[in-house]
Amino acid sequence: MSEISGQAVLQERDELLRFGLGHGQLRGVAISLDDSWHTACANHAYPPAITALLGECVAAALCMVAMLKFDGRLILQFRGEGAVSLLVVQARTDLSFRVTAQWRDSLDGASLNQPLSALLGSGQLALTLEPTDGVRYQSLVAAEGVNIAAALEGYFAQSEQLPTRLVLAADAQRAVGILLQQVPGEGGTPAERARAAEAEFEHGAALIQTLTGTAGQQELRTTAVPELLHRLFHQEALRLTQISPVRFYCGCSRAGVGAMLRSLGADELAQALADSEVPGHVAVHCEFCGADYRFDAVDVAQLLREDSVAPPEATRH
């Protein structure tokens, strides 16, 4: 890596870049997760293969959520019988994210580059779009292909009207992704526009495809995003249109956990107090950020009293 791109890595961190290419018939987003990615992994001892899979899922989810035309969030979730038993990625349109995974002991120490089928077995990823105002929509994505980008291309082919290509790479240091999408062009007949757009898309897709081999993945993981885009698209009239910060944000809170516990009811809470591994407390661990919440018998009694009145959040305003 050149010294210039080395410096750029230090400068261009935790950002999502929007860009346009060519004659306006291609748009894309590119993302680099750095400190936010370290924070997301800090409280988990993920094996390398899980780190790579999760990082690619987060980069993909944020690239996809950045293309949405509404406020809300995108959730990528998997439950299965393979080496990975649970995977949850939540990305919001403000470009914050949180993520967690569970795996079976068989995976400990497994190497970075595992095919998707070795990690997930057979199964389906649930991809949910959740507008802040509106109806949630879920698609099922077959967990097929060599990696998560290949699996998601199956989703794009089925659910998106616009041709879309995605490349991803991740390790413990960084998670990186580039999403390229065809947009309807202007001028000429619809058939002419479609042909021109398709030709541009195929050309752009071929360029990002160079980042999928072993050397390409290494390049994707270690190059600053602006430098990467310049290398790929310097002959395609590359235009950077917007740069936005990306952050890890869990959003869990004592009030939220309290509301969840309250919903369990008095009997179940009494049982939880009796069975707790933390004597005298109901203990709740956030699987996303690692926060621990503890409620003793007095707290639990208080929660149950609140059951009959408005929650404090509602009365404060």
- What is the number of other CB atoms lying within 10 angstroms of the CB of residue 83? 21
For residue 287, the minimal CB distance to Zn ion (Å) is 8
| Cβ neighbours, 10 Å, residue 110 | 17
Start-to-end Cα distance in the chain: 54
Q: Burial of 25 by CB count in 10 Å (0-12 exposed, 13-18 middle, 19+ buried)?
A: buried
Nearer to Zn ion, 239 or 285 (CB): 285
Tell me whether residue 31 or residue 40 sits nearer to Zn ion (CB atom). Answer: 40
Q: Which is nearer to Zn ion, 58 or 229 (CB)?
A: 58
**Residue 128: CB minimum distance to Zn ion, A:** 19
Site residues (vs Zn ion, CB under 5 A): 250, 252, 286, 288-289, 291
Minimum CB distance to Zn ion, residue 249 (Å)? 9
Is 72 or 256 the residue whose CB approaches Zn ion more closely? Answer: 256
Eight-state DSSP code of residue 107 = G
The token pair that represents 164 in the structure block: 């879309």
Beta carbon of residue 251, minimum distance to Zn ion (angstroms, whole number)? 7
3-state secondary structure 117-139: HHHHCCCEEEEEEEECCCCCEEE
CB of 290 to Zn ion, least distance (A): 7
SS (H, E, C) 274-300: HHCCCCCEEEEECCCCCCEEEEEHHHH
Residue among 82, 87, 140 at smallest CA distance from 107: 82
d(CA 281, CA 299): 9
C-beta of 194 vs 291, nearer to Zn ion: 291
CB of 55 vs Zn ion, minimal distance in Å: 19
CA distance 8 to 223: 8
Comparing CB distances to Zn ion, the nearer of 103 and 288 is: 288
Tokens of 68: 């949405």
User: With respect to Zn ion, which residue has the nearer C-beta, 288 or 295?
Assistant: 288
What's the min distance (Å) between Cβ of 136 and Zn ion?
Answer: 22
Please give the distance of CA 297 from its chain centroid, rounded to a whole number: 38
- Taking the complex as a whole, the smallest distance from the CB of residue 238 to Zn ion amounts, in Å, to 38
Smaller CB separation from Zn ion, 107 or 250: 250
Enter the DSSP assignment of 250. -
Query: What is the phi/psi pair of residue 228, to 5°?
Result: -60, -45
